[in-house]
Structure 1
Amino acid sequence: MRKHWVLPQPAYAHYVCYPEMLGHYSDFPEHAERRSEGFLNSYNLHMVFDGEGYVFQGGERISMKRGSGFLFPPGAYQQYGSDPGQAWDVRWMHFATAIPLPMLEEADQSRGYFFTFDPGTGYDTLFEEMYRLSASYETRSEPRLSTLLYEILVTLMQNSEPLQGSVPLEIRHSIRLTADRIYSECERPWTLESMARLAGYSSYHFLRLFRSIMGKTPNRYLSDCRMARAKLLLASTGQSVADIALLCGFQQSSYFIKVFRQLEGMPPNQYRRSFNS
């Protein structure tokens, strides 16, 4: 199978990112490219969902199989291809963007970024919608195409690791599952030890991993989750501040009011009035 689309330049000139060319190849053993420096003036993203292949970087042949991918920046030398005996199932895209994402900056600096990703994170659904919109292109589809590209890039940022990454994907996945549990049950009397136990790590190891993956400490994340629930209840219900404090994991309403004021710059009742005026 060889699906391939080329999109016209968008009518609106201010999208933060936009696909120029995209495709889906499988059972296509001839898929191989060698592009000289300066030939391609857009980013080139390939994500391998099955099969075997390779990419060359600095004279080194790097294996690319299921759950591997590569991103070349504009103007970079590129050499890659599918294994004729085990052809790739690969989804790829050439795109333009000026978003300062760390992944893009790494590709710019090293002239090629190579990573692992979890194929089960929903990328195929996002790509399929892009393919459908591209196959029946209309100018009114441009905002959605830009949005889908942005979602793919950000999802990849959150759910991928460099090939030589220090945090394997299965660990990243377990930390995110723990974060989701903390969010949905933020009223529980969580401690660092209980959160670490849920994830299956020592407190020290969990703290380091959580900060690295989520960008904040577990206690700060818990506080953010509790504040989000509190603001929702204050804005959408008539429950008392004391009841809301308990529903958000605070045993004393006075402490809840103190924390709320520190984080939001106003007491809970004033926040509620701003939505009920």
Structure 2
Amino acid sequence: MGYYNLHLVFEGQGYVELDGERIPLTEGEGFLYPKGAEQQYGANPAQPWDVRWIHFSTAMPLPMLSSADESGVWLFSITDRRRLASLMDEMYTISSHFETRYEPRLSALLYELLAELAHNAVSLQDDAIPRHKQELIREAADLIRNRCSESWTLESMAALSGYSMYYFLRLFQTIMGRTPNRYLTECRMAVAKGLLVATRLPINQVAERVGFTQSSYFIRVFHSQEGMPPKAYRELYGSLA
């Protein structure tokens, strides 16, 4: 299969086979197979699972994708599944009567789904970093994302966790798969794209809304991230909103 295969268990039980061992999965747990992997999984006949699943391809540099690529499958758990269910249900609805003009929305939903997993899912395989530290870093990441329009420094971000700047940087990069500053930029670009598509705010006001003091720098960063300037992005996708 030339796609990643993501399954999330909402009810019941199932299993994944890894290195000859059958690993049980239950409510709130899931798995991610990489492209081209041999895949062995199924439902427990006694308590068949209710799962949501998607096949996808992406170039996003996420630790969970790397873990799947390296180990053959990534196993995880997640506490709050309501948001994931909502995102996947909307993806199913769009895909059931797919048209090319829906591609930007489908891509945005996939990005949000993977972001939710990256922020909130806990690996069932990696015990190198204690769970409480993983949760602390993800809580800090959520705060940064929700307040991405504010002025942030590495020092102020590290203060959210109580760790030193150096230790926070190492932990954040290991758990989130990118540096805090790169993560902040991605959050700002996600908000900016929404404003460009859904509003007619001038570019300089969009820049201010997402935390940039200079619109010229915002335009340069946006072009670097998205491959086109903000104006072109709005012209391409704004009419589809």
TM range (shorter): 0.5 to 0.7
SS in 2 for 1:132: helix
1:176 to 141, 148, 168: 141
Unaligned runs of 5+ residues in structure 2 are: 189-200, 221-241
Match of 2:123 in 1: 162
Match of 2:232 in 1: none
Map residues 1-277 of structure 1 onto 2, 5 A cutoff. 40-93=1-54, 95-97=55-57, 99=59, 101-102=61-62, 103-120=64-81, 122-135=83-96, 137-140=97-100, 142-144=102-104, 146-147=106-107, 148-165=109-126, 166=129, 168=131, 170-180=135-145, 183=148, 186=151, 192=155, 196=158, 198-199=160-161, 201-203=162-164, 205-212=167-174, 213=176, 215-216=178-179, 235-236=204-205
Structure 1 distance, partners of 2:204, 2:81, is 36
Greater helix fraction, Structure 1 or Structure 2: 2
SS in 1 for 2:40: strand
SS in 1 for 2:179: coil
> TM-score, normalized by length of structure 2?
0.57
Structure 2 distance, partners of 1:128, 1:157, is 19
Identity %: 35
Assess if the C-alpha contact under 8 Å between 1:159 and 1:172 holds in 2: no
Give 1:162 deviation, angstroms: 3.1
Unaligned runs of 5+ residues in structure 1 are: 1-39, 226-231, 237-243, 249-255, 265-277
The one-letter amino acid paired with 1:60 is: E
Greater strand fraction, Structure 1 or Structure 2: 1
How many pairs align? Answer: 198
Structure 1 distance, partners of 2:157, 2:36, is 46
Q: What is the Cα-based RMSD across aligned positions, in Å?
A: 4.7
The superposition leaves residues 91-133 of structure 1 with CA deviations (integer Å, 9 ceiling, x where unpaired) of 012x353636444454344332223345347221211112222
Structure 2 distance, partners of 1:54, 1:70, is 10
